[in-house]
Amino acid sequence: MKVRKAVIIAAGRGTRFLPMTRSQPKEMLPLVDRPLIQYGVEEALNSGIEQIIIVTAQGKPSIEDYFDRSPELEHFLEQKGDTGRLRQMQELSRMVDVCYIRQKEQLGLGHAIITAREIVGNEPFAVILPDDVIDSDVPCLQRMMEIYGKYGDGVVAVERVADGDTRKYGIIEPEQVSERVYQVLSLVEKPEPEKAPSRLGIVGRYVLAPEIFDVLAVTPPGKDNEVQVTDALQLQLKQRRLYAFELEGIRYDTGNPLGWLKANVALALKRDDMGPELREYLKELL
């Protein structure tokens, strides 16, 4: 069955960005000239996704407003004669129709995914964590959807991590089946380096079969007393296979201030309209 729907998780508290995120959703922080969440939405659409479901939480109405029409702003730009920005605002509101649902308690990624169950229904779906911005020639999610279409089982995105970083990720035990594609033999959430089965850590892209909802419903809280999707996928291995795609391109972890700053600099340097001037400015600083 074709993967048509993507669930974007935007329900976290953003505590690593306090005090900024007291009143501003982390997902709306600017990455060059677009909010973080727009990168995830665009990757989904460029991968062939037809419906976007965003899981939000209390205090995040600005996400809904951002993808909605803004008649007053459009009128202002029209009166001003700023046709370029007017067209850009109109294209943004026409980009996608989004369905929103709230996670009423922050009980982990697995719990956030469950909240979208009624909207997803009985079909495979993608999950995007907007903290992970992946810059690649072919969208990471598109490659994962192709792998799902070939094997008919779930797919997680993985990246090689440093020894000391295994405790930050779900780590897989891999068996390579083709270039950059592995069958997952087991998973463990945030292990110490000496207990990690590999250095391939799961990052913020998933393509999942609908049966995962039943598994998540019976998955007990794990690390940090939260429902971990890694634990649910480990349970599901008893019933069906799971694959991993070692992502191509560069992943930027924008979930912390330093990673967010690095991503801004790196992506701005690639822009023709600001890259050359920014490069000269950075040379002056150094």
Largest pairwise CA distance in the chain:
64
91 pLDDT above the threshold of 80: no
pLDDT band at residue 270 under the 50/70/90 scheme: very high
Mean pLDDT value of segment 56-62: 86
Q: What pLDDT is stored for residue 20 in this prediction? A: 84
Q: Where do the structural domains in the chain lie, given as residue ranges?
A: 5-255, 256-286
Q: What pLDDT is stored for residue 132 in this prediction? A: 95
Q: What pLDDT is stored for residue 147 in this prediction? A: 96
Mean pLDDT value of segment 145-158: 95
Parallel/antiparallel/unpaired status of strands 200-208 and 125-128:
antiparallel
Mean pLDDT value of segment 98-103: 89
Parallel/antiparallel/unpaired status of strands 242-246 and 132-135:
unpaired
Q: Which residues pair with 83 in a beta bridge?
A: none
Mean pLDDT value of segment 53-79: 83
- Looking at mean pLDDT, say which of 88-92, 212-216, 225-229 comes out highest: 212-216
Share above pLDDT 90 across residues of the chain, in percent, rounded to a whole number: 67
Q: What pLDDT is stored for residue 80 in this prediction? A: 81
Mean pLDDT value of segment 103-119: 89
223 pLDDT above the threshold of 80: no
CA distances to 27, 65, 74, 96, 257 from 93, rounded to whole Å, are 18, 10, 11, 7, 29
Mean pLDDT value of segment 56-70: 84
Higher per-residue pLDDT: 171 or 106: 171
- Rounded to the nearest 10 degrees, the angle between the axes of helix 257-269 and helix 275-285 is 120
Share above pLDDT 70 across residues of the chain, in percent, rounded to a whole number: 99
- Looking at mean pLDDT, say which of 7-11, 56-60, 65-69, 92-96 comes out highest: 7-11
SS3 assignment for the chain: CCCCEEEEECCCCCHHHCCHHHCCCHHHCEECCEEHHHHHHHHHHHCCCCEEEEEECCCCHHHHHHCCCCHHHHHHHHHHCCHHHHHHHHHHHHCCCEEEEECCCCCCHHHHHHCCHHHHCCCCEEEECCCEEEECCCCHHHHHHHHHHHHCCEEEEEEECCHHHHHHCEEEEEEEEECCEEEEEEEEECCCHHHCCCCEEEEEEEEECCCHHHHHHCCCCCHHHCCCHHHHHHHHCCCCCEEEEECCCEEEECCCHHHHHHHHHHHHHCCCCCHHHHHHHHHHHC
CATH fit for domain 5-255, picks 3.30.565.10, 3.90.550.10, 3.90.1170.50, 3.40.50.720? 3.90.550.10
Mean pLDDT value of segment 116-121: 94
77 pLDDT above the threshold of 90: no
pLDDT band at residue 144 under the 50/70/90 scheme: very high
Higher per-residue pLDDT: 77 or 36: 36
Q: What pLDDT is stored for residue 245 in this prediction? A: 97
